[in-house]
Amino acid sequence: MRIIGHLDMDAFFAAIEERDHPQWRGLPLVVGADPAGGTGRGVAATANYPARRYGIHSAMPITRAWRLSEAAKRRGQPGVIFLPPNFSRYEEVSRRIMEIIKKYSPLVEEASIDEAYFDLTYAGDFARAAAICAQIKGEIRVRENLTASVGLGPNKLMAKIASDFKKPDGLTVIPPEEAESFLAPLPVRKIPGIGPKTENFLAQRGVKTVQDLKRFTREELQEMFGKWGLDLYEKVRGRGSAVLATAYEPKSVGEQETFGRDTLDLPFIFERLWAMCRRVHQRLLAETFSTYRTVVVTVRFADFETRSRAHTLPEPAASLRTLRFEAMKLFMPFLDVRENPKNKLIRLIGVRVEKLGK
| Window 75 to 134, contacts with Mg ion (CB under 5 A) | 114
- Please tell me whether residue 9 binds Mg ion under the rule CB under 5 A: yes
Decide which of Mg ion, ligand TTP, none touches 167; Cβ closer than 5 to 8 Å per partner kind. ligand TTP
Q: What is the largest CA-CA distance in the chain?
A: 65
Decide which of ligand TTP, Mg ion, none touches 263; Cβ closer than 5 to 8 Å per partner kind. none
Q: Which residues are catalytic?
A: 115
Which residues here bind ligand TTP, judged by CB under 6 A? 8-13, 45-46, 58-59, 113-115, 167-168
Tell the smallest beta-carbon distance from residue 307 to ligand TTP (Å): 22
Tell the smallest beta-carbon distance from residue 98 to ligand TTP (Å): 14
Q: How far apart are the C-alpha atoms of 353 and 197, rounded to whole Å?
A: 31
Q: What CA–CA distances, in Å, run from 22 to 12, 25, 29, 61, 200? A: 16, 5, 12, 27, 42
Amino acid identity at 251: K
Nearest to 5 by CA among 114, 185, 93, 136: 136
Q: How far apart are the C-alpha atoms of 288 and 280, rounded to whole Å?
A: 13
Tell the smallest beta-carbon distance from residue 117 to ligand TTP (Å): 14
Decide which of ligand TTP, Mg ion, none touches 266; Cβ closer than 5 to 8 Å per partner kind. none
Nearer to ligand TTP, 66 or 334 (CB): 66
Tell the smallest beta-carbon distance from residue 52 to ligand TTP (Å): 8
Q: Which residues contact 288 (CB under 8 A, 6 or more apart)?
A: 358
Q: How many residues bind Mg ion (CB under 5 A)?
A: 4
Judged by CB under 5 A, the residue of 7, 8, 72, 133 near Mg ion is: 8
Nearer to Mg ion, 78 or 85 (CB): 85
Tell the smallest beta-carbon distance from residue 124 to ligand TTP (Å): 29
3-state secondary structure of 346: strand
Nearer to ligand TTP, 10 or 110 (CB): 10
164 alpha-carbon distance from chain centroid: 14
- C-beta atoms surrounding 212 within 10 Å: 17
Amino acid identity at 260: G
Nearer to Mg ion, 12 or 82 (CB): 12
Decide which of ligand TTP, Mg ion, none touches 13; Cβ closer than 5 to 8 Å per partner kind. ligand TTP
Secondary structure letter of residue 186 according to DSSP: S
CA quadruple 189, 191, 197, 203: dihedral positive or negative? negative
Q: What CA–CA distances, in Å, run from 240 to 69, 134, 180, 192, 280? A: 41, 24, 12, 11, 36
Secondary structure letter of residue 108 according to DSSP: E
Decide which of Mg ion, ligand TTP, none touches 258; Cβ closer than 5 to 8 Å per partner kind. none
Q: How many CA atoms lie within 13 A of 18 on its CB side?
A: 22
Tell the smallest beta-carbon distance from residue 57 to ligand TTP (Å): 8
Decide which of ligand TTP, Mg ion, none touches 94; Cβ closer than 5 to 8 Å per partner kind. none
> What percent of the residues of the chain are helix, what percent strand, and what percent coil, each to the nearest 5?
45, 25, 30
| Window 167 to 196, contacts with Mg ion (CB under 5 A) | none
Nearer to ligand TTP, 11 or 183 (CB): 11
Q: How far apart are the C-alpha atoms of 15 and 317, rounded to whole Å?
A: 35
Nearer to Mg ion, 9 or 100 (CB): 9
Residue ranges binding Mg ion (CB under 5 A):
8-9, 12, 114
